[in-house]
Amino acid sequence: MSCWTLLGLPATSDTRSIKRHYAKLLKQTRPDEDPEGFQRLRDAYEQALEQAHWMTEAEGEDIPQPAPCLDDLPVLQAPAPLSPAQRVAPLLEGIRIEQLDQRHRQALEADCLLEFELGLLRHCVEHPEQSSQLLAWALGTFHWLTAWQRLELPEYLTDTLLQQCRQALEQPLREALEHQDAEAFTHVYAAHAQQDWLHSLDQRQWFNQCLATMLLESPYWSSEVFRAVCAGQGWQEGKDNACPPQAWQRLLERDEAPVFIARQRTLATQPPASPEQRAAYLLLAPISLGRRRAFARRLNEEDWASCRKLSSRLHADHPLLAAQMPGSTPFFWRDWEFAFNSWPMYLALFSACLAGALARYAPQSNSLGEIIGVTLFWSACFAASAALLHWLWQPLAHRLWARDHRLGSRLPSWLNPNQRLLPLRDLLPVAVLGPVLGYVCGPISALVYLAVLPSIALVRNIEFKHGMPWRQLAPWQRRLLGGLGCVLLAAGLLAIKLLGDYGTVTANQGLQQWSERLCARMPANAPDCAAPATRAQWYGREGTP
């Protein structure tokens, strides 16, 4: 760049014009504020004076010169005037916070304020880590990100600046919550919440949503932080509440967390007389996983609805407490909700009917197929009766849970370990079905029924592992075990069928020697063929032992 271009003067200017223009430029570029710019201006000034002095001396000499050819004469063009971007470039070079007011006035005097603002915006967007002070000054001076900013600013730059400002505001708040530092959060919030660009409606709505989401998602909760945000953002009960409606109720619930948890723990220690008490007992009582599972077998649909409600609130508002539950989730009971809990009763009934049929009909030389048929018939009748009894009795027993719980606590520990047995709910149906089985199918059937049920209960209550191994299995392992069980069941049924088909034929079964051997071709009045036939006449000598 030539000295004339830097000074903004034509090359034919005299020394007086150069000095006058130089004095005007000195007001814009001071040596104490911009030493580099001043040095460039000083060098250009000295070069311009030297060239003007040389041109003046050349014009004063009367030395005749040959007339030059028109083709040899250089074409002198007036220098093009500097564009606003060229005029503002020295003002933005190496700019510092203490120079901003002076450079701003210089840009205003040079009629390049828009270019100055645009260049400063581009610098803040491209170097955000180095421009925090410049950005703070520009936000207050040019009203960026507000309704009063220039419309000429590029939209992509203002959008990028908005994202950077939001991130710079949100990041320290999240870090304070992660470090569980309520004092740091309130300090950062008080320092940043009063920025001018947050006063617009869109930015206030964004900031309210951001704070609500941040407080709800954080495992850490502080009532001090919540009250500070409510006071600063205008969160309050009523129609003028600035908090997002879908988050306000959840925030209040999290703020009441200590009272809520204390109440739920109190419910967990009381007799489980209501669905809320039973849900609190299942989720929050200090009991083992096996005892929880045994307790869950007695819950009905209302109890599971209370469990879903309580688990959802614990999962949403109390993540630290939820992480301490089995499987690190308050929904550890979901596999138990749809479990088939009546199969021990039906298995005991089938075993009792099978034992009664064997005890009654096996000594009479009946076939295995006949015994299985009798067993299935008795099992179907007693299963239908037991299902009807269960349907009628369980709702009534559920209402008497508190009294049933007190009765169970009075049973001896060897009969009711860990108080898992409810007399009215569990023992009364057994006391009804047992004598009926003994009357219909025999005493052995009743004894088998009364032996199978406690055995199943004992096996189910044994805690082999403090976890949920079936849930931890891979899907292919579950399918493999299920398929293996089906194969074993089919093999057992096939074995029973084969035993029934190829069993030993008894004296009164199958093809026997018949009377045609002796009397088929003799007269009807033959004395040896009188009716009824004797054993010798019917079976012959070959069939007699």
Do 445 and 347 fall into the same domain? yes
Residues 405 and 451 in one domain: yes
Q: What local confidence, expressed as pLDDT, does residue 543 receive? A: 43
Domain boundary among 308, 337, 366: 337
Q: Dihedral, CA atoms, 168, 171, 175, 181, nearest 10 degrees?
A: 60
Last residue of a domain, one of 337, 359, 392: 337
Do 150 and 142 form a contact (C-beta atoms < 8 A)?
yes
Give mean pLDDT, residues 201-206: 88
Distance CA(174)–CA(189), nearest Å, equals 11
Are 247 and 292 members of one domain? no
Q: What is the per-residue pLDDT across 414-457, written as a single tens digit (0 to 9) for each?
A: 666 666 667 777 778 888 888 888 888 888 888 988 888 878 77
Is residue 184 situated within a structural domain?
yes
Domain that includes residue 431, residue range: 343-465
Answer yes or no: do 247 and 278 share one domain: no
State how many domains the chain has: 5
* 324 and 248 both lie in a single domain: no
Residue 102: Cβ-neighbour burial (10 angstroms; 0-12, 13-18, 19+)? middle
User: Does some domain include residue 487?
Assistant: no
Q: Are residues 366 and 396 in the same domain?
A: yes
Degrees to nearest 5, angle at CA 330 with 329 and 333: 105
Which band of pLDDT confidence, cut at 50, 70 and 90, is reported for residue 515? very low
Check whether residue 385 and residue 432 sit in a common domain.
Answer: yes
Domain membership flag for residue 57: no
Give the pLDDT mean for 331-351: 79
Among 197-201, 504-508, 519-523, 539-543, the range with the most confident prediction by mean pLDDT is 197-201
Q: Could you tell me if residue 320 is inside a domain?
A: yes
- CA-based torsion, 473, 322, 285, 298: positive or negative: negative
Q: 422 in a domain, yes or no?
A: yes
In a shared domain, residues 323 and 434: no
- CA distance linking residue 85 with residue 72, whole number of Å: 36
Three-state SS for 330-390 is CCCCHHHHCCCCCHHHHHHHHHHHHHHHHHHHHHHCCCHHHHHHHHHHHHHHHHHHHHHHH
What pTM does this model have?
A: 0.47
Task: List pLDDT tens digits, range 380-415.
Answer: 998 898 888 878 887 787 777 777 777 877 777 666
271 and 311 fall within a common domain? yes
Last residue of a domain, one of 255, 278, 297: 255
pLDDT score at 514: 46
Q: Does residue 233 sit in the same domain as residue 327?
A: no
Which regions of 272-371 does DSSP assign to beta strands (E)? none
Q: Which amino acid is at 388?
A: L
In whole angstroms, give the CA distance from residue 332 to residue 326: 6
Same domain, 331 and 361: no
In a domain, 7, yes or no: no
User: Is residue 308 a part of any domain in this protein?
Assistant: yes
User: What's residue 67's pLDDT?
Assistant: 44
Residues with Cβ within 8 Å of 446's Cβ and at least 6 positions away in sequence, in order, are: 352, 434, 435, 437, 438
Q: Which of these ranges, 301-305, 322-326, 382-386, 526-530, has the smallest mean pLDDT?
A: 526-530
Residue 263 lies in a domain: yes
202 class by beta-carbon count within 10 Å (0-12 exposed, 13-18 middle, 19+ buried):
exposed
Q: Mean pLDDT check: name the lowest of 117-126, 280-289, 390-399.
A: 390-399
Shared-domain flag, residues 264 and 208:
no
